[in-house]
C-alpha cells in the first residue's frame, strides 16, 4: 500500500541485522500514530538480504529524507577481490513496491572496503560512498535516478 509522501505523523528508520552466515539484512520501518497517543513501527519495505555470507551486507545505511530511497553498503563484497565492497540502492515506487535503482557501485580492487560509509541526499538522487582504503579511485558521480548511473 503506498504511503503518503508528506505524512507528518511518521518517521522512517532503518534496521540492519546480521543473521545466519553473516548474510545481513535491512528493513525500513515507518512510525504510525495508530490511536491518539499510541505509536507503532510498521515495516514498509521488504527485507533486503545479502546474497552471500560474510560480505557484511548492511554494514552502512542511508535513507533519503523522504524515506523512499535506501542505500546499503556491503563493505566486505568480493566482486573485484576480497573486501573490495559495493553499494546497492532501492527506491519505493508510487505503488508501494521497492525496486533496485541504477547500477551497483563497486569497489575497484581488493581491500578497498567500498560501502564502509554511505550518505544519500534528501531527495535520494545523489549519493556519497566511503571507500577508506581506495586511494586511487578517480572522481566519479553516481546518480541514483533509475537507469541514470555514470562514473
Percentage of the chain exceeding pLDDT 90: 48
Report the distance separating Cα 8 and Cα 138, nearest Å: 41
DSSP characters over 108-147:
SSTT--BTSEEEE-TTS-BEEEE-TT-SSPPP---B-STT
Report the distance separating Cα 68 and Cα 146, nearest Å: 13
| C-alpha separations of 59 from 17, 26, 122, 132, 146 in Å | 9, 10, 21, 14, 23
pLDDT greater at residue 12 or residue 55: 55
pLDDT greater at residue 141 or residue 79: 79
Residues 6+ apart with CB under 8 A from 95: 2
Write out the three cell numbers for 141. Answer: 558521480
pLDDT of the residue at 140: 52
SS (H, E, C) 62-73: EECCCCCEEEEE
Q: Is pLDDT at 2 greater than 90 in this prediction?
A: no
Report the distance separating Cα 26 and Cα 4, nearest Å: 22
Q: What residue segments make up the domains of the chain, in order of their start?
A: 12-130
* Residues forming a β-bridge with 48: 26
Span between the terminal Cα atoms of the chain, in Å: 35
- Decide: pTM greater than 0.85: no
pLDDT of the residue at 132: 87
Residues 6+ apart with CB under 8 A from 82: 110, 111
pLDDT in tens, 94-129: 999 999 999 999 998 888 899 999 999 999 999 999
Amino acid at each position: 500500500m503506498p504511503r503518503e509522501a508528506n505524512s507528518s505523523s511518521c518517521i522512517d528508520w532503518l534496521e540492519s541485522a546480521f543473521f545466519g552466515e553473516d548474510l545481513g539484512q535491512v528493513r525500513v520501518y515507518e512510525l504510525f500514530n495508530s490511536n491518539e497517543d499510541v505509536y507503532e513501527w510498521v515495516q514498509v519495505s521488504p527485507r533486503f538480504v545479502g546474497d552471500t555470507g560474510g560480505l557484511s551486507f548492511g554494514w552502512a545505511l542511508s535513507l533519503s529524507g523522504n524515506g523512499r530511497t535506501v542505500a546499503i553498503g556491503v563493505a566486505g563484497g568480493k566482486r573485484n577481490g576480497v573486501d573490495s565492497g559495493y553499494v546497492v540502492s532501492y527506491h519505493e515506487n508510487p505503488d508501494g513496491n521497492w525496486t533496485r535503482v541504477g547500477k551497483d557501485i563497486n569497489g575497484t580492487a581488493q581491500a578497498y572496503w567500498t560501502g564502509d560509509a554511505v550518505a544519500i541526499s534528501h531527495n535520494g538522487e545523489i549519493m556519497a560512498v566511503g571507500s577508506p582504503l581506495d586511494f586511487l579511485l578517480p572522481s566519479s558521480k553516481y546518480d541514483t535516478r533509475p537507469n541514470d548511473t555514470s562514473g
